[in-house]
């Protein structure tokens, strides 16, 4: 009887999570390493380089689901026209997102192009506005889904008939995001940055059922963040972060701190990274990583602190992030402006 109850609770919990995944956007614990999904104004907002490319992978609930939630993103952005615009430049970038949610085969694919304008205000601040436009697609395999009326008293059996019928298993739509950023850098050792973005400003329709268009529109998502880079000495730079997002009736609040430790003396070509974050009511997130010659790798792990920890043994999600930053050739005459603390 105890095993039956546990199976039922886990099944209901996973169904609830799956419904949340359908209703809410994808997210990363390492939001600070996923700049274009956080805010389109981050496009070309690269204080310590001229361009960057990155990849992100997240695996969630692998110990309680036969088909865990997997999210992959690939992005790239660069600074353009820095010699043609007085104390400013354009940022141009692109992003691809792919997500598979649970055993229901819910697949999400999104492709975005981003554009931002950056303008320096005086000698110690920078204001940025940006947007992205993209194509999004979601599809699902109903034969892999289980519904409440398919519970046989012990398990969910999707071979049993169900009254739930999907009228469409593949939907596509246009998606638009906008955002603002502000950076303040009074000295070479202090850099503070805050941003705000609105996602799904066009409120596209997304549903696998027949119904009112208004009830199936994606609610706008609001994201705000504040971070800083503070150079303590020639060996240590700390990076505190605060992140908040809300969509419909759901909200997420994350805060924490990274630290970079210089292993190679002047130039900082080799760095050790470590950090700790907390997602309110959900997880503690330790992070470790390293950077070698502008190639940074980080790994984080969500240690579940919510009630779900009883069933997943504190094992929430793991994330891998890889970012490569680079500089234009000196022969282009494009002089890079440095805005943040460096070793």
Of 43, 134, 125, 124, the closest CA to residue 90 belongs to 43
| Residue 303 tokens, joined | 């240690």
pLDDT tier, 15 (very low <50, low <70, confident <90, very high otherwise): very low
Start-to-end CA span in the chain (Å): 61
Spatial distance between the Cα atoms of 208 and 211, rounded to a whole number of angstroms: 9
Contact 175, 202 (CB under 8 A): yes
Spatial distance between the Cα atoms of 195 and 118, rounded to a whole number of angstroms: 13
Higher model confidence: residue 327 or residue 213? 327
pLDDT cut 90: percent of the chain above it = 57
Give the domains, in start order, of the chain with CATH numbers: 2-332 (2.40.160.60)
Of 237, 256, 254, the closest CA to residue 246 belongs to 254
- Position 81 scores a pLDDT of 92
What average pLDDT does range 225-237 have in this prediction?
95
pLDDT tier, 142 (very low <50, low <70, confident <90, very high otherwise): confident
- In this predicted structure, the answer to whether residue 11 has a pLDDT above a threshold of 60 is no
DSSP letter string, 87-142: TEEEEEEEEEEEEEETTTTEEEEEEEEEEEEEEEETTTEEEEEEEEEEEEEEE--G
Which DSSP category does 253 fall into?
Answer: E
DSSP letter string, 175-189: EEEEEEEEEEEEETT
- Position 100 scores a pLDDT of 85
Spatial distance between the Cα atoms of 301 and 57, rounded to a whole number of angstroms: 12
SS3 342: coil
- In this predicted structure, the answer to whether residue 41 has a pLDDT above a threshold of 90 is yes
b/e burial code for range 18-32 (CB count within 10 A of at least 16 → b): beebbebbbbbbbbb
Which DSSP category does 262 fall into?
Answer: E
- Ramachandran category for residue 109: left, alpha or beta (phi over 0 → left; psi -120 to 50 → alpha): beta
What average pLDDT does range 145-158 have in this prediction?
72
Contact 114, 130 (CB under 8 A): yes
Spatial distance between the Cα atoms of 233 and 56, rounded to a whole number of angstroms: 30
Tens digits of per-residue pLDDT, 87-110?
899 999 999 999 987 666 788 999
| Residue 195: strand pairing partners | 181, 225
What average pLDDT does range 230-250 have in this prediction?
95
Tens digits of per-residue pLDDT, 266-300?
777 899 999 999 999 999 999 999 999 899 999 99
């Amino acid at each position: 009887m105890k095993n039956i109850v546990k199976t039922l609770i886990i099944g209901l919990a996973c169904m609830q999570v799956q419904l949340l995944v359908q209703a809410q956007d994808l997210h990363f614990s390492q939001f600070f390493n996923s700049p274009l999904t956080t805010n389109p104004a981050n496009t070309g907002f690269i204080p310590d380089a001229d361009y960057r490319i990155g990849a992100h992978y997240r695996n969630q609930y692998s110990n309680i689901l036969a088909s865990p939630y997997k999210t992959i993103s690939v992005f790239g952005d660069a600074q353009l026209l820095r010699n043609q615009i007085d104390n400013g430049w354009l940022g141009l970038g692109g992003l691809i997102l792919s997500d598979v949610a649970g055993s229901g085969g819910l697949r999400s694919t999104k492709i975005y192009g981003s554009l931002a304008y950056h303008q320096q205000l005086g000698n110690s601040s920078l204001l940025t506005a940006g947007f992205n436009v993209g194509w999004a697609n979601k599809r699902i395999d109903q034969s892999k889904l289980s519904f409440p009326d398919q519970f046989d008293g012990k398990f969910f059996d999707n071979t049993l008939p169900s009254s739930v019928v999907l009228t469409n298993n593949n939907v596509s739509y246009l998606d638009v995001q906008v955002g603002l950023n502000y950076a303040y850098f009074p000295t070479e050792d202090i850099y503070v940055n805050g941003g705000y973005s609105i996602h799904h400003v066009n409120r596209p329709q997304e549903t696998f059922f027949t119904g009112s268009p208004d009830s199936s529109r994606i609610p706008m998502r609001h994201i705000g963040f504040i971070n800083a880079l503070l150079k303590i000495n020639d060996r240590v730079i700390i990076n505190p972060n605060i992140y908040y997002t809300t969509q419909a009736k759901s909200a997420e609040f994350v805060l924490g701190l990274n630290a970079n430790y210089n292993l190679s003396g002047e130039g900082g070509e080799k760095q050790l990274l470590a950090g700790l974050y907390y997602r309110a009511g959900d997880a503690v997130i330790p992070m470790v990583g390293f950077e070698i010659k502008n190639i940074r790798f980080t790994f984080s792990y969500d240690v579940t602190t919510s009630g779900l920890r009883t069933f997943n043994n504190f094992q929430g999600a793991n994330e891998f992030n890889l970012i490569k930053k680079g500089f234009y050739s000196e022969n282009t005459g494009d002089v890079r402006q440095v805005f943040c603390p460096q070793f």
